[in-house]
Amino acid sequence: MTPHIRIQAEDFDAAAELTALRPGAGALASFIGLVRDDNGLTALTIEHYAAMTQKEIVRIAAEAASRWPLTGLTIIHRIGRLEPGAQIVLVAVAAAHRGEAFAACEFLMDYLKINAPFWKQEEFGAVTRWVEARSTDDDAAARWKK
Amino acid sequence: MRLLYFAGLRQKIGKSEETLDLPPRSVAELIAHLKTRGPGYVAAFADETRLRAAINQDYAALDAMIAPDDEVAFFPPVTGG
């Protein structure tokens, strides 16, 4: 099983990505993260450590594949300036059964949130501020400790 | 060693990267040295609990050793996803 991992500025077609995961699968589970339209946000800019993000997401994907029997896995994370309502991230997992599909999908998002080197900067007109990491993300990831 | 700074850290230091000629040392020792380079660095490294480091694109603890040819990155806790 070769995970498909892409870091890109362009938008993605979630339906097409899920369709591509169908061969050999009995269950598909997915998550899409969107830019929330909060408090007059005008844009969200996502920065990343290019040399490390691919490597880190590959590592997270390999961890998921070692814990659950998966037939396929796709992770797409966008970078650059995104407007409210835009898609940010897709995690899609294919497996024989729903148990592992749901679990792996949630695990991948929880680990991506605390490990993948991206940083979000919110723009409210002329004002910009960095999003702060949340301890609830660490708590969510800690649930998966073996 | 090549040093990279991201997000809020980059803004406080005022540069995204620099190359320093230093002997091998731990991440903690490098941070202590960087704090002597100016107020931007002091502000950037003020709270070590809100700091992450990577050596050659792998997360590194404060006691990890850095070789002279390594790439070291410093950044705030990540906020992707």
Tokens 């290019």 found at: A50
Say yes or no: B77 contacts chain A, CB-CB below 8 A: yes
Question: Would you call B81 and A52 a contact, using CB atoms and an 8 Å cutoff?
Answer: no
Closest CA relative to residue A117, chosen from B69, B31, B54: B54
Question: Would you call B79 and A49 a contact, using CB atoms and an 8 Å cutoff?
Answer: no
In whole angstroms, what is the distance from residue A16 CA to residue A100 CA? 22
Closest CA relative to residue B29, chosen from B76, B78, B72, B59: B72
What single string gives the DSSP state of each residue in A26-69?
SEEEEEEEE----TT--EEEEEE-HHHHHHHHHHHHHHHHHHS-
Reported pTM: 0.94
User: What tens digit of pLDDT does each residue of A75-128 get?
Assistant: 999 999 999 999 999 999 999 999 999 999 999 999 999 999 999 999 999 999
Task: Return the CA Rg of chain A.
Answer: 16
Whether residue A146 has pLDDT greater than 80: no
Q: Which residues 9-48 of B have a C-beta within 8 angstroms of A? A: none
